[in-house]
Amino acid sequence: MDLDNLEVTTNDEVNAEFLRLLANRQALYDLSSELIMLDYRPEFAKLHRRGSRSLGHELKGASLLDSLGHLFVYIHMAWETGILNTVHSCRRQGVTRDQLLDVFMAGQMTGGPRGAENIYRAVWMMLRDYRDRPQPAEFPDGWAPDAAAFRCGLDLSTPELTLADREAIFTWYERTIGYVPSSVSFSADNHPRFLKNYRAKWEGAFRGGLPKQMLPYMTLRYCTINGFRDGLRENALLARAWGMQREYVIHAIMSSAYYMNGLPAVSVAQEALSDILKDW
């Protein structure tokens, strides 16, 4: 479509957009989510397309991050069509099955059994025959797997939070982001078994080669759509500690707002991150 001409949209333009959306043979959601716009308000479809292209302008890997970020959020939402569609997009962009499993394991922590069930319903047959693309996915410069970065030194021989475990968790947070989040200290004081075992799952999610920076990136998107101020702050600081560029933190927030909650969601980011971003 001619995105510079909002006043006129020809049938040829609309048909070309149909063909573009069908070319990848993904879930029809790619097409059906735009049909009302294309049929009745094509100028708005053009505005939407212009906006989506502007989100990742000049950012390496922005389209890939969008696909993975959408996938993580769709697991939380238990939206099967979205899960299937983004898995297709990720495969086309070179994400391996093992890397997808990293997203699925992390997504189970926010989506719970409902999210995990919808992963199964959406893509279990596809995963059995999944073929990794020879060319690897292109992540932003400096992003790399690092399973050791997640670990704080838990004693996994027991589900109990030992004094050494508590100290290890608190020290990890103080060293990595500069403070112990209130969610961590509350859990340690009131349900230490929960903290121990939740932390163990968090440390064990990324084992398939996904860059460690993807976890704070995806969690920033999740926190944006849910309005979790403290979560935004914690994960932005983790992203910075792990070498993520400032622009990708902004991308996570703005892309979430664009595709989900709209401009009001950004006000929470202003409250949570203005001082961090100023000094980044």
Q: Compute the distance between CA of residue 192 and CA of residue 160 in angstroms, rounded to an integer.
A: 7
- The pTM of this model reads 0.93
Of 102, 80, 67, residue with least CA distance to 27:
80
Question: What's the alpha-carbon Rg for the chain, to the nearest Å?
Answer: 20
Going from N- to C-terminal start, the domains of the chain cover 1-50, 61-136, 147-204
Mean pLDDT of 117-130: 94
What span, in angstroms and rounded, lies between the C-alpha atoms of 64 and 49? 17
3-state SS, one letter per residue, for 208-246: CCCCCCHHHHHHHHHHHHHCCHHHHHHHHHHHHHCCCCH
Provide the 8-state DSSP code for 219: H
Residue with tokens 């950004």: 266
Contact criterion met (CB below 8 Å) for 59 and 244: no
Overall average pLDDT of the 156-182 stretch = 98
- Asked whether the predicted pLDDT for residue 159 surpasses 90, the reply is yes
> Cα-flanking dihedrals φ and ψ of residue 160, to 5°?
-75, 145
pLDDT of 26 higher than 80: no
Give the model confidence (pLDDT) of 73-105 as tens digits. Answer: 999 999 999 999 999 999 999 999 999 999 999
Report whether pLDDT(23) > 90: no
What secondary structure, in 3-state letters, does 106-151 show?
A: HHHHHHHHHHHHHHHHHHHHHHHCCCCCCCCCCCCCCCCCCHHHHC
